């Protein structure tokens, strides 16, 4: 028979180890909502999250292995084989344009879809005088044109060292002997 526990049991056990406001700490993290990701651990580890227009090697390998294109950090979508939308970020530019998982990109700015054309369109839309990214979308038997309001160019996440801080994250991730 499994022994269950309740929130108060966890708080009491933690307080037995180290007295602290564990109830407040846990409630903030479990029940709280935040506009931003909790990045303090990375900062204390000697790194910061930045976005660049060049994917990391890991990102490239992930796309190749998954046979996908990941624009989650720019347009807010991921694309599988033959232009099929496999993911749409909640409240991202693609979501706001009305795109959903399962639809297919047929064309980008009036030309047949391919991943490179989409990347070029995202880059071009970063210039103020350029048009927004326009996609021809197939949803079942229906087609429609969608303009995605995104001017930020290509964005790929990476960790960057903070100069003059200890590289604690390196120590944590180092191989053990």
Q: Report yes or no: 142 and 134 within 8 Å, Cβ to Cβ.
A: no
pLDDT in tens, 104-133: 999 999 999 999 999 999 999 999 888 899
- Average of per-residue pLDDT values in the chain: 94
Local structure of residue 54 (DSSP, 8 states): S
φ, ψ of residue 140 to 5 degrees: the values are 70, -120
Q: Report yes or no: 71 and 118 within 8 Å, Cβ to Cβ.
A: yes
* Banded pLDDT at 174 (limits 50, 70, 90): very high
Tell me the mean pLDDT in the region 150-168.
Answer: 96
Tell me the mean pLDDT in the region 12-22.
Answer: 97
Tell me the mean pLDDT in the region 25-48.
Answer: 88
**Residue 132 to residue 153: CA distance in whole angstroms:** 11
CB atoms within 10 A of CB 62: 13
Distances (CA, A) of 30 to 35, 39, 136: 15, 16, 41
Regarding predicted confidence, which is higher, 53 or 39? 53
pLDDT in tens, 44-101: 999 999 999 999 999 999 999 999 999 999 999 999 999 999 999 999 999 999 999 9
The domains of the chain, with CATH numbers, are 1-33 (no CATH), 54-154 (2.30.42.10)
CB atoms within 10 A of CB 109: 17
Q: In the structure encoding, which two tokens stand for residue 162, read together? A: 């903070």
């Amino acid at each position: 028979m499994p022994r269950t526990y309740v929130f108060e049991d966890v708080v009491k056990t933690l307080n037995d180890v180290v007295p602290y406001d564990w109830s407040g700490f846990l409630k903030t993290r479990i029940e709280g909502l935040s506009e931003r990701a909790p990045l303090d651990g990375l900062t204390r580890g000697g790194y910061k999250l930045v976005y660049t227009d060049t994917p990391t090697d890991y990102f490239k390998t992930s796309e190749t292995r998954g046979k996908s294109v990941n624009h989650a950090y720019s347009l807010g979508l991921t694309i599988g084989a033959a232009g099929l939308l496999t993911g749409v970020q909640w409240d991202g530019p693609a979501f706001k344009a009305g795109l959903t998982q399962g639809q297919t990109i047929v064309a980008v700015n009036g030309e047949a879809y391919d991943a490179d054309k989409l990347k070029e369109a995202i880059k071009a839309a970063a210039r103020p005088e350029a048009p927004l990214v326009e996609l021809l979308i197939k949803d079942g038997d229906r087609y429609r044109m969608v303009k995605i309001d995104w001017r930020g160019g290509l964005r790929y996440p990476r960790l960057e060292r903070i100069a003059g801080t200890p590289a604690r994250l390196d120590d944590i991730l180092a191989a053990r002997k």
